[in-house]
Structure 1
Amino acid sequence: MASTTPEIPGIHLAQKLNCNNAQNQAEINQCAQLSYQNADKKLNQVYKQLLPTLPAYRKPKLITAQQAWIKFRDTNCEFERSENEGGSIAPLTYFSCLARTTQQRTQQLQEYLNYTHEL
């Protein structure tokens, strides 16, 4: 989970959200969403670093792979969430899956980036 005290647009709380000490399921869900958003930002940073390092013939392949990966991630996490469909924990399941899967993909892209710098 995120360790900062975030401000989530559209969420009006009496006090700021503390993800180190979430007090209820709604706060835990919001912190999971924030964790995913942070993971997604990191993924996009690494992707934007990697793309220009590739030869022209590889760029469309990465773009296609990334689009397919996003579709996989989203549908797979929808599947994971379906186990708790309608429950208050469903958003936590979904955003935790998104964060975990996105972090794994970021690591893959970082490895590609490291490899291209070694060449």
Structure 2
Amino acid sequence: MFSRRIDGCPAKRESHRHTARFQPQERPRITAFIAIAACLTTERAAQDGRLNTTYKALLGKLQGEAKDDLVTAERAWLDFHNKSDSFESALYSDGRVADLEVTQNEVFRLCERANTLERYLSIANDL
């Protein structure tokens, strides 16, 4: 299914056709862009899944006020995450590279939050 790797991310096999929209000399750049976008999309889904799994596990370990506080904190983080995404979309210029930058920042935020929740889960497991 994958024919080569770019920066450690698998790139799907590409068709050897090109559309009238892209000139043949642009093909390597377009192909690289698509591969990077696919990699970021895959990583975003993986980090989002890790975050959700860890959140549910942590939620299952907590009770009472601690559980309520986690729900409140996660809602606040989601609000921050969504507002950061909106801000970055407005800040960066329109275009393919801007889309990659916004997606990469989203991946970093998801990963950072998942890491934080994993640390909390580790503490909760020790209680």
Please give the TM-score of this superposition, normalised by the length of structure 1. 0.76
Match of 2:106 in 1: 98
Within the candidate set 17, 25, 30, 2:33 is matched to 25
Distance 1:46 1:59 in 2: 14
Matches of 1:61 and 1:28, distance apart in 2 = 37
1:54 is aligned to 62
Cα distance, 1:23 vs structure 2: 2.9
**Residue of structure 2 in register with 1:84 after alignment:** 92
- SS class of match (1:86): coil
Residue 113 (structure 1) shift? 0.5
Aligned with 1:67 (options 69, 75, 78): 75
**CA RMSD between the two structures:** 2.4
**Max radius of gyration: which structure?**
2
The answer to whether the 8 A contact 2:9-2:39 is kept is: no
How far apart are 1:84 and its partner, in Å? 2.6
2:65 and 2:15 map into 1 onto residues whose CA distance is 53
User: Residue 82 of structure 1: CA displacement?
Assistant: 3.0
| Count of residues paired in the alignment | 107
> Closer, same or farther in 2 for the Cα pair 1:62/1:2, shift >3 Å?
farther
Write the distance in 2 (CA, Å) between the matches of 1:30 and 1:83. Answer: 23
Q: For residues 114 and 2 of structure 1, do their structure 2 counterparts lie closer, same or farther at Cα, with a shift above 3 Å needed?
A: farther
SS at match of 2:47: helix
The answer to whether the aligner puts 1:108 opposite 2:119 as a matched pair is no
- Return 5+ residue gaps in structure 2 as ranges: 1-6, 17-29
Contact 1:2 1:34 in 2 (8 A): no
5+ residue gaps, structure 1:
7-12, 16-21
* Cα distance in 1 between the residues matched to 2:106 and 2:8: 14
State percent identity of aligned pairs.
25
Where 2:31 maps in the other structure, the secondary structure is coil
Which one is further off, 55-64 or 32-41?
Answer: 55-64
